[in-house]
Structure 1
Amino acid sequence: MFSLSHVSNVFSALPKTPASSLEYELEKVAGSSDASALLPSLQQNSHYVEAPTLTDTSAVFQSTSLPKSKKFRCIHTFACKSQAIALSPDGKMLASGSSFIKLWNLETGRIVCTLKGNTGILKSIAFSPDCKTLASCGLSQTIELWDLETGKIIQQFTGKSYGVNSITFSPDGQILASGDRGRSVQLWNLTTGKAVRTSCGHLPVMEHGDWVNSVTISPLFPCQEELGGILASGSHDKTIKLWSLNTKQAIATLKGHLSLVYAVAFSRNGQILASGSADKTIKLWDLKTKEEICTLAGHGDEVYSLAFSRDGQILASGSADKTIKLWDLKTKEEICTLAGHGDEVYSLAFSRNGQILASSSADGTLRIWLCE
């Protein structure tokens, strides 16, 4: 994925990592087809990480609703201050962001490089569907796009004079959506490098009554073709809005949370939307009827982050109560609680095969959990 000729000029590479060794590791990861192949090396190579590695968790969390063979275990804990994490769609790389971005090789557990931009404290990072581009945003009004072949910034988008809380790519990689503290959802055309406009040439009015905390775009399915896909946004105003990417108009406002909405996430089949709130609950919404399916309660504090497994069977939620909960989407019941973080859980990301869950926390650690 990375061109090693650019490492010395662009990346802050690992200390004591010979170029030949780095090249070898990158060639190995490029040849891997799935994150599951990365687990043995990740467990054995804690000395590769840039920061000191903390003690691994030996506790095993047994599922009560899935087969007894299913259990969840923290296989590694890294010292890494990060409010945002993302797993590449091909399952080979993990990105974590604080005031800069670290890219991790999941085969070795090694930090491959560090990308330093101008967005301030990072709030959200996202890989493009083809894994060639990484987008980042933060407390400045600037969104930066990184070429992962060269490590250079290839595009910058500047919106209103407010911090950007969340970004997401459309499934075809042509559009980037952002949600900011100026109450706006903005769409950016990655071909032209400009804000998307309506057919009349005007910038669409896509706004909430308060900060937009999270944005996500659904996979495109036949029932959504006339809409061009659906964008969901969660806000401080306690609502979730659904937008048509074709018309740039709101098609529904979902109400029910008693406090601000921190996180929204679509299931892989695009039929369910999950929302996490400061009211300590998660709500599941039917995208066809635009009605609430159920409320998942169990966290002891605000719900900050959500992630669906690729097969759509499990929803993970991260909370200010320092825990991660896993939910069975068939039974709508809690599978188990993953404890271990010492502070709020900011961000979650599943690998494409659902065997790895990554979590970042205010305790200054990044944990890798294995479903086995």
Structure 2
Amino acid sequence: MEHLINQQVKNIQISGIRQFFNMVSEFEDTISLTIGQPDFLTPAHVKKAAIKAIESDFTTYTHNAGYPELREATAAFVKEKYGLTYQGKDEVIVTAGASQAIDIAFRTILSPGSEVILPGPVYPGYEPIISLCGAEAVHADTTEHGFKLTAELISRHLTEKTRCVVLPYPSNPTGVTLDEEELMKIAELLKGKDLFVLSDEIYSELVFDGKHRSIASYLRDQTIVINGLSKSHSMTGFRIGFVFAPAAISKHLLKVHQYNISCASSISQKAALEALTGGKNDAAPMNGEYSKRMNYVYRRLTEMGLPTEKPDGSFYIFPSIKHFNASSFDFAYSLAKDGGVAVVPGSAFSALGEGYIRISYACSFEQLQEAMDRFEHYIKSR
């Protein structure tokens, strides 16, 4: 019966990150720096809120867009943190993680033949959804521009078919982000054009210097903001994300969301409410630890002679391994098998990631030290 499967589904692949993680998991005594999973526990007060929700039988459907009190708290959170103004009633949708938020956004705004401009290298979760919509992903090469999708790069790829520009910052896999001037230039370029900006800000609370800035501050009417609690509050399994957009856009996003999942988990929504009120600054100590780890890994990689762009946020770093004259897959496989350290080949992040590897430092400092020692030994033994 496989010949009856939707051809667009047959054409997409399981994430290269997961494929490689599964492949190297068979190697014994390997330190994994692969998956973007925070190594911190979900804050205790957030877990207690989830338990209380169960015990008080808050286990039925909520409003399709989410528990009203949570939507208001979410709007208040981004107002306080980033200066963004959204109405909880009709401009915020609670989703099953940021991944579902991205899915409903693309399915709402894309039509067959549409083009979406993505920075390359880029998180592999966008292109398959774009393809399922019958649209085309257009990768802009950021490797000579500090891994930043600048206004200049965007302008080179704009066509009459362009329907969306994706700004995933702070970036997975590179850790870089855009500053205020860069965002303003993009807003100036795109303002008034018949296209949307999808701004994936899931790592917004993990910025090392200064505060996160959103393109929605300068281009609100055309921007759909994606966020969530997986990274900021170490709540990956709770599956809570958010979509922020003007009411005229949100009403259409909500239709797709409704027929997709009806609503996010009621129990997780109660936990999210506690995270955004009683735990609005829970990310701060985690972020401080990530910054410490980033500086350590950056120093070690630099001392090893690996050209590396210093991250501005998230918990990833993306060094070049081009001078080893091996594909990123072969290098990463050999490093896991012979060096005892698992990383992700850059090719998992589009063809423009070839020649790089992604290292996640979402693990203990002790593990990072051992991993970097093994990495250095592996390089010296090549």
**What TM-score does the superposition give when structure 1 sets the normalisation length?**
0.26
Computing the radius of gyration from Cα coordinates, the structure with the larger value is 2
The structure where helix makes up a greater share of residues is 2
Which structure's relative contact order is higher, taking Cα pairs within 8 Å and 6+ residues apart? 2
Higher normalized strand content (fraction of residues) = 1
